[in-house]
Structure 1
Amino acid sequence: MLYLSLRQMEYVAAVARAGSLSGAALQLNVSQPSLSVALTRVEAHLGQKLFFRRKGAPITLTTAGQAYVTKVEDLLARARHLEDPAQMGQTLSGRLNLGMFDGLAPFHLGHLLRSLAAALPGIDIHYRVNDFATLAREMREGRIDCAVTYDLGLDASFAKTHLINTRPCALLPGGHRLAHQAGVTLRDLVDEPLILSDEGLSVRHMLALFGRLGRKPVVAHRVGSLELMRSLVGNRLGVGIGYCVPPTALSYDGLAVVAIPISDSGAVEPVIVASNGTPTPGSLIARVRTEIATAFAARAQ
C-alpha cells in the first residue's frame, strides 16, 4: 500500500520550486494551510525534515529534501507521461495484440511485423492469425487490439481504415480454355466446377457475387488453404477463385496453375485495419493503425 499520494508529492515539489507556501498555493490553486498540513504529513511519514521553514524567510530544502525532491520530480514526470495519451503515442511502449485474416497473413504479415518493429521499437508485438468470425470476436472481447482483414462480418461498432483494394483471380489449370486470356469475368466462370475457401463468410461473399448475375454456380470443393486449392486446380478438379495469389505458376505438387484477374468491378474487395471502437487520438492503437496504413501504402508504391 502507498502511504503517500502523488498529490502530496506534487505539493512537496511545488513548494521546493516556489520557495514559499504562498507561491506554491497560487500555482496549485489550493490553500496555504492545506499545503502546510501536507508537508507536515510527508515529513512525519518519512521521519525527517525536507524543508527549513522560518517565519519571514524563504522556505529552503534540507540536504535530505534536495535528494527527495529530485526523485519526486522524476516520479511526477513519469506519472504525467502515463496519463497523457499524446505522450504515450510518441514513445509507444507496451504490448500490441495484432490480428490478421489467415488468407492475408502469408502475403502481408512478415512485411508488416518488420515495418512495425522499425517504426515502433518500444512495442512488444504479438500476433494471431484467424478467420473472420474469430478476429471479430477477439476484438470485441479485447484479446486483439486491431486486425488486418477484409471488410466482411464487421458491423458499425468497429472503426475501419481502408488499406488497399484487392481483385480476385481465377485459378485455372494449364491448358484451360481461358488460361491465355488477359482477364475473365464471373460470367465466364459460372458453369465451371468451383473450388472455394471453406471459410463461411468467404463462401457467402463469393456466392453473392454470382447471385448478382442471377446464377448459382456448382461448388465442387471447399478447401482450408490456398495451396490446397491450387493443387486441386492443377489436378483439373475445378477452377479456384482467390483474392491473394502467390507469384508462382506451379502448385506444391508441381502442376501448372494460371492466375487470371477477374474484371468485374463488384468483385473488388477492400483490405482494412479494424479495431473495436474508435481509438483515442494519440493512443497506442491509433498510432499503430496509422503505421499499418503507412506500411501498406509504401509497399503499394
Structure 2
Amino acid sequence: MLYLTLRQFEYVSAVAHSGSLSAAASQLNVSQPSLSVAITQVERRLARKLFIRRRGAPVELTDFGRDYLAQVEEIISLARQLDDPARNQRATAGRLTLGLFEDLAPLHIGRLLNALRSKLPGAEIRYRIADFETLARDMLQSRIDLAVTFDLGLDASFLRRPLASIQPHALMRVDDPLAGLQEVSLRDLGQRALILFEEGLSVRHVLGLFRRIGAEPVVRHRVQALEVMRSLAAHGDGIGITYAGSKSSCAYDGTPLASVPIAEDFAREPVILACPLDGAKSAILNPASQAIVEAFSRE
C-alpha cells in the first residue's frame, strides 16, 4: 500500500520552489493550514524533516529534503507524461507486440518479424510465444496486439483473419509399416499408442478427431516441445501427431524420422491472425496485419 499520494508530492514541490507556505497554498488553491498539515504528514511518514520552517523567514529545504525533492520531481514528471493522452497515443502508435502459439513460432517467427520490420520501419516490434490460454488473456489485457495461432480457445471477443489451413502429420520411425504411405488415416492411427502435446486445448482437439470416427486411442506420452515428440517418435516410442510441420527428416539427435500427412479433411486446422475487437482501432494494426497476411501468402 502507498501511504503518500501524488498530490502530497506536488505540495512538497510547490513549497520548495515558492519558499513559503502561503505562496505555495495560493499557487495550489488550498488553504495554508491544509498545506501545512499535508507537509507534516509527509515528514512524519518519512521520519525526516524536509523543510526548516521559522516564523518570519523563508522555508528552506534540509539536506535530506533536497535529495527527496529530486526524486519527487521525477515522479511528478512521469505522472504528467502518463496523464497526457496525446503523448500516450504517440508512444503506442509505433509499438507492436506479436503473439505466436508456441508450436507455430519455430516455423514462422523469423519470417514474420522480418515482414513486420519491413512494413513498419522505425516501429518497435516485440513478440511473445505462449499457449492458447495465455495468448487469449494477454490480448484481452492489451499485452499482445496480434496473435498468429490456431482457432482454439478464442471466443466472440476476438476478430479472426484466416492465414492458412494446415494438415496434421503423424510422426513415426522410418521403418514403421505406415511410414511408406502417402497419407495415413485416423482409423489406422487409432490402433497405435500416441504422443500428444501437453497443452490442454491441443490434447482435447486431437482426441476429438478420433472420437469423430469412434476411436479411443491410448496416449503414451504428453510432451511440451515438438523436438521431444520427434525424438520419441523417431525411436519408436509412439506415433506423434502435430500440426507443426518441419522440413527436417531427422530428430534432434540425428535419428531418421518419417512424417506422413493425415488423410481426413476434417482434421485440417486453420491458422488465424487474431486480435481483440477493441484493439482493431489501433492505427498500426492494419499495416501489421497486411504484412503478416502477405508473408503467409508467399509460403
TM-score (norm 2): 0.68
Aligned partners of 2:193 and 2:217 also within 8 Å: yes
Q: What residue is the counterpart of 1:71 in the other structure?
A: none
Q: Tell me the secondary structure at the aligned position of residue 195 of structure 1.
A: strand
Secondary structure of the 1:96 match is strand
Compared CA separation, residues 285 and 150, structure 1 to 2 (3 A): same
State how far apart, in whole Å, the 2-side matches of 1:260 and 1:143 are: 37
Q: Which residue of 2 aligns with 1:183?
A: 183
Query: What is the identity, as a one-letter code, of the residue corresponding to 1:274?
Result: A
Q: Distance in 2 between matches of 1:139 and 1:279?
A: 8
Displacement of 1:176 in angstroms is: 0.2
**In the TM superposition, what is the alpha-carbon distance from 1:194 to its structure 2 partner?**
0.1
Cα distance, 1:252–1:280 mapped onto 2, change above 3 Å = closer
One-letter identity of the residue aligned with 1:99: G
Tell me which residue corresponds to 2:127: 127
Asked whether the 8 Å contact 2:119–2:288 carries over to 1, the reply is: no
Partner of 2:208: 208
**1:159 and 1:278 in contact (8 A); partners too:** no
Unaligned runs of 5+ in 2: 1-85
1:284 has 2:284 as partner: yes
Matched, 1:257 2:248: no
- How far 1:122 sits from its partner (Å)? 2.5
Please give the per-residue CA displacement for 1:159-209, whole angstroms capped at 9, x wherever unaligned.
000000100001010110011011111111001000000011000000000
Equivalent position amino acid for 1:233 in 2: A
SS at match of 1:295: helix
Amino acid at match of 1:236: G
Percent identical pairs in the alignment equals: 46
Is the contact made by 1:194 and 1:239 (CA closer than 8 Å) also made in structure 2?
yes
What pairs up with 1:195-274 in 2 under 5 angstroms? 195-274=195-274
Paired positions, count: 212
1:44-59 superposed matches below 5 A:
none
Amino acid at match of 1:167: Q
CA distance in 1, matches of 2:214, 2:96: 44
User: Cα 1:280–1:139, aligned 2, differ >3 Å: closer, same or farther?
Assistant: closer
Runs of 4 or more above 4 Å deviation: 278-282
CA distance in 1, matches of 2:159, 2:227: 32
- Is contact 2:171–2:260 with CA below 8 Å preserved after alignment? yes
Instruction: Go from structure 1 to structure 2 and tell me whether the alpha carbon gap of 1:282 and 1:202 turns closer, same or farther (over 3 Å shift).
Output: closer
Instruction: Provide the secondary structure at the position in 2 that maps to 1:230.
Output: helix
Q: Report the equivalent of 1:149.
A: 149
* Paired residue secondary structure (1:231): helix
Could you give the per-residue CA deviations for residues 219-258 of structure 1, whole angstroms, max 9, x where no partner exists?
0000011100011011111000111222121111221210
Cα distance between partner residues in 2 of 1:137 and 1:260: 34
Give 5+ residue unaligned stretches, structure 1: 1-81
Cα distance in 2 for residues equivalent to 1:100 and 1:244: 12
CA distance in 2, matches of 1:184, 1:200: 25
Instruction: Give the drift of 1:286.
Output: 2.5
2:193 pairs with 1:193:
yes
2: CA distance, partners of 1:162 / 1:224? 26
Match of 1:170 in 2: 170
Question: SS of 1:127's equivalent?
Answer: strand
Is contact 1:231–1:251 with CA below 8 Å preserved after alignment? yes
CA, structure 1 residues 222+184, in 2 after alignment: closer, same or farther (shift >3 Å)?
Answer: same
* Contact 2:160/2:272 (<8 A) preserved: yes
Deviates more, 1:281-290 or 1:226-235: 281-290
Q: Is the 8 A contact 1:99 1:127 kept in 2?
A: yes
SS of residue in 2 equivalent to 1:248: coil
Determine the structure 1 residue equivalent to 2:47: none
Task: Quote the residue 2:158 is aligned against.
Answer: 158
Question: TM-score, with normalisation over the residues of structure 1?
Answer: 0.67
Are 1:279 and 1:286, in contact at CA under 8 Å, matched by a contact in 2? no
Partners of 1:173 and 1:269 in 2: how far apart? 25
Structure 1 equivalent of residue 51 of structure 2: none
In the alignment, the residues of structure 2 paired with residue 144 and residue 226 of structure 1 have an alpha-carbon distance, to the nearest angstrom, of 24
The 1-side partners of 2:280 and 2:205 are apart by 32
SS of the counterpart of 2:220? Answer: strand
1:284 CA displacement? 1.1
Judged with a 3 Å threshold, the aligned counterparts in structure 2 of structure 1 residues 280 and 194 are, in CA distance, closer, same or farther, namely closer
- The answer for the alignment partner of 2:52 in structure 1 is none
* Amino acid corresponding to residue 178 of structure 1 in structure 2: L
Match of 1:110 in 2: 110
What do the CA deviations read for 1:65-109 (whole angstroms, capped 9, x no partner)?
xxxxxxxxxxxxxxxxx79x9xx9xxx951111100010000001
